Amino acid sequence: MKQIVVSGIRSTGHLHLGNYYGALRNFIQMQNDFECYFFIADYHSLTTHPDPKDLHPNVRSILAEYLASGLDPEKSSIYIQSDVPEVCEIFTLLNMHAYIGELERTASFKDKIRKQPENVNAGLLTYPVLMAADILQHKANLVPVGKDQLQHLEMTRKYARRFNTIYGAELFPEPDAYKFHGEPIKIPGLDGSGKMGKSEGNCIYLNDEDKVLTKKVMRAVTDQGPTEMNQQKPEVIENLFTLMKVVSTPDTVEHFNDLYNKCEIRYGDMKKQLAEDILKVTAPIRERYKEIVNDDEYLRRVAAIGAEKARESSAKTLREMREIMGFKKF
């Protein structure tokens, strides 16, 4: 039977390299081999209270970035999360078996309490349950995500297992994390902090103009340089190499690694090469994005076709859940 793939990205603005290499690039590769549902998580974006004026433009830009990057509406169902409201009912049903204690222990929740103490809303607490509903509504087997989402995915597996066990049903498969090449990854920030992310304010965007992007890369934090042969790299330097490993050829990485080991590296040269290699990936996406982003007719058509297919699949799962849980019509 064909494996089912589900994944999404929150609509909080333009996509950055973390989104691209952690998720989107894998979506593009997977669409050829699997039955895929790729959505834009606009409900999830509400946890940080975006201005209503920004909600739709953010969805539009991500949809255009999905398409500009090579997601194909003929191959995958590409849809907006809120166009499939069945997910909200599935979320309600799953919530009855999600426990406050386990939700409070989630790393992303604890992180948000630290980052936005003035807005610790229930949507943040139940965020992993809505994500489980996103995934389970299509009975996904595989979920391409970056490393930071693995705990959420583990919770999805737990909710699937719990539902099946409690009701003695075999409704949900337990989905696995999936990356086309190897393990899920974390793209680092180039400012010395751990991960590239919106709330970290250190993003390189797919949509950055050449000059802006190059400037961001050239400003990456480094150190004084190695002083001993084959010395271990400090985190900021390891970060540069991590990014280079995903965007550049193995030969290029090898070249700079050798120079580092011989204490001959010039970080300026490495950054210049890195910026060039990132631009090779992002510049064509940016060009296509400009052609697509204002094509209302095309975007409407893609979203409508995607939503229709996703609703069909979601409604079927919801009917099955209702029946298993004992709902009946008079």
Residues 125-144 touching ligand TYM, rule: CB under 6 A, are 131, 134-135, 143
Provide CB contacts within 8 A for 85, sequence distance 6+: none
Query: Residue 23, interface with ligand TYM (CB under 6 A)?
Result: yes
39 neighbors 76 (Cβ within 8 angstroms): no
Least Cβ distance, residue 188 to ligand TYM (angstroms): 7
Of the candidates 314, 318, 294, the one whose C-alpha atom is nearest the C-alpha of residue 81 is 314
Compute the residue count for the chain: 330
In the block, tokens 């999600």 appear at 98
Contacting range for ligand TYM; rule: CB under 6 A; set: 6-14, 215-223, 239-247, 311-319: 6-14
Residue 131 tokens, joined: 């994500």
Tell me whether residue 157 or residue 226 sits nearer to ligand TYM (CB atom): 157
Query: Residue 44, interface with ligand TYM (CB under 6 A)?
Result: yes
Residue nearest to ligand TYM (CB): 22
Active site residue 112: yes
What is the Cα–Cα distance from 184 to 22, expressed in whole angstroms?
A: 7
Residue 322 tokens, joined: 């209702």
Phi first, then psi: give them for residue 176, nearest 5 degrees: -105, 150
Query: Residue 87, interface with ligand TYM (CB under 6 A)?
Result: no
Least Cβ distance, residue 175 to ligand TYM (angstroms): 9
Active site residue 195: yes
What is the Cα–Cα distance from 96 to 44, expressed in whole angstroms?
A: 19
Least Cβ distance, residue 210 to ligand TYM (angstroms): 22
Query: Residue 9, interface with ligand TYM (CB under 6 A)?
Result: yes
Active-site entry in 147, 158, 198, 245: 198
At position 189, the amino acid (one-letter code) is G
Active-site entry in 75, 186, 195, 316: 195
Least Cβ distance, residue 257 to ligand TYM (angstroms): 21
Contacting range for ligand TYM; rule: CB under 6 A; set: 14-22, 28-36, 232-240, 294-302: 14-22
What is the Cα–Cα distance from 226 to 197, expressed in whole angstroms?
A: 28
What is the Cα–Cα distance from 26 to 84, expressed in whole angstroms?
A: 23
What is the Cα–Cα distance from 330 to 319, expressed in whole angstroms?
A: 16
Pick one of 40, 190, 196, 303: the residue that binds ligand TYM (CB under 6 A).
196
Pick one of 162, 195, 245, 255: the residue that binds ligand TYM (CB under 6 A).
195
Query: Residue 314, interface with ligand TYM (CB under 6 A)?
Result: no
Least Cβ distance, residue 225 to ligand TYM (angstroms): 26
At position 31, the amino acid (one-letter code) is Q
Instruction: Output Rg (C-alpha) for the chain, integer angstroms.
Output: 21
Active site residue 198: yes
Residue 119 tokens, joined: 């807005």
SS3 content of the chain, % helix, strand, coil (to 5): 60, 10, 35
Tell me whether residue 187 or residue 270 sits nearer to ligand TYM (CB atom): 187
Which runs of consecutive H residues, i.e. helices, occur in 219-295? 235-247, 250-261, 267-292
Residues 143-172 touching ligand TYM, rule: CB under 6 A, are 143, 145-146, 148-149, 152
Tell me whether residue 16 or residue 271 sits nearer to ligand TYM (CB atom): 16
Residues classed as catalytic: 112, 195, 198
Which residues are at the interface with ligand TYM (CB under 6 A)? 6-10, 18-19, 22-23, 41, 44, 131, 134-135, 143, 145-146, 148-149, 152, 185-187, 195-197
